[in-house]
Structure 1
Amino acid sequence: MQSDIILKRLRADDSIGAVVAGWTFAAWGHLHPGLTLEQAIERTKANCGQAGVPSIFVAMQGETPIGTASLIADDMSIRREFTPWLASVFVVPEWRGQGIASALVRQVETEATAKGLERFYLYTPDQQSLYRRLGWQELESLEYRGETVTVMSRQLGL
């Protein structure tokens, strides 16, 4: 990752919140039938915690947001026993392949570890190799809202 890229915690009153919500809505809104962009923006604001769960982090290149990742309590309605979740890892296309997603994932892991969490989860339809490289383990593959996804977990502190 370039040295001029910083990771920051997103605040509910931050003007880039709508941009972040727009990215995640465009990428995964289809998994939430009936969800509007306006509702996605409100959800994003609600997940802007000050520490721990929930938290949203944004990769910034100067004043420009270029990626995001979240630590939230619940990301999969059919696996409510799993908590918390790494969610909404997204990097704008022109910035991909530069280690930004990995840095965002590590930031969320650091946040989770600092709050005493021992394990957390994610699901992905197509980024299993990225998460395996970062120490995540596959738990199961399943159909979720019309998409085949892999549920993965990470033991923290290892």
Structure 2
Amino acid sequence: MRSDITLQRLRAEDPNAEVVAGWTFSAWGHLHPGLTLEQAIERTKAKCGQAGVPSIFVAIQNETPVGTASLIADDMSTRRELTPWLASVFVVPEWRGQGIASALVRRVEAEATAGGFGRLYLYTPDQQALYRRLGWQGEENIEYRREHVTVMARQLDQ
């Protein structure tokens, strides 16, 4: 990742919380029928924890947000027994391919490890190759909210 990009914990009062909510709403809002952008902003702000679960991280370049990732308790209503989850990994299209997503994933993994978790989960319809490169393993392929997704897990170093 470029040296001029930093990873920061997102705070609810940070104006970037609305930017991050807009990204994730645009990318995945279709998975939550009936959810409005205003509700998505409130949900995002509610997930801006001080540490541990939940937490949201944002990649910043010269005070401009360029990516985000979250650590949340559960991300799949059909797999509530699995916790915690890496979620909402997003990088602005023109910033992709520079290691930002990988750095955000590693930051969430570190937060989960610091919280005492031994395993972390995610689901993705199309980014399996990225996560495999980062040490994640496929657990199962299922249909979730009308999308074919892979549930993946990563064993965390304690």
* TM-score normalised by the chain length of structure 2: 0.99
* Total equivalences in the alignment: 158
- Post-superposition CA distance 1:128-158 (Å, at most 9, x none): 0000000001000011111100000011007
Q: Hey, what's the Cα distance between the residues in 2 that align with 1:156 and 1:99? A: 20
Query: Which ranges of structure 1 fall in alignment gaps of 5 or more residues?
Result: none
- Which residue number in structure 1 is paired with residue 76 of structure 2? 76
Structure 2 residue 137 is matched with structure 1 residue 137? yes
Q: Distance in 1 between matches of 2:84 and 2:36?
A: 24
Please, which runs of 5 or more residues in structure 2 have no aligned partner?
Answer: none
> Do residues 87 (structure 1) and 80 (structure 2) align?
no
Tell me the residue number matched to 2:57: 57
Structure 1 position 120, deviation (Å): 1.1
Task: Please name the residue that 2:116 is paired with.
Answer: 116
The Cα shift of 1:88 comes to: 0.1
Deviation (angstroms), 1:74: 1.0
Q: Quick one: which amino acid aligns to residue 85 of structure 1? A: W
Give how far 1:125 is off: 0.3
Partner Cα separation in structure 2 for residue 118 and residue 35 of structure 1 = 32
Return the letter of the residue paired with 1:146. Answer: R
5 Å matches for 1:39-58?
Answer: 39-58=39-58
Q: Does 2:27 correspond to 1:27?
A: yes
**Displaced runs of 4 or more, over 6 A:** none
For residues 99-126 of structure 1, the C-alpha deviation after alignment (integer angstroms, 9 at most, x for no partner) is: 0000000000011111111001000000
Identity of aligned pairs, percent? 80
1:50-90: per-residue Cα shift (whole Å, max 9, x none)? 00000000000011000000000011111111111000000
Write the letter of the residue equivalent to 2:103.
A
**TM-score normalised by structure 1 residue count:** 0.99
Distance 1:99 1:89 in 2: 12
SS at match of 1:79: coil
Return the letter of the residue paired with 2:66.
I
AA of the residue aligned to 1:122 = L
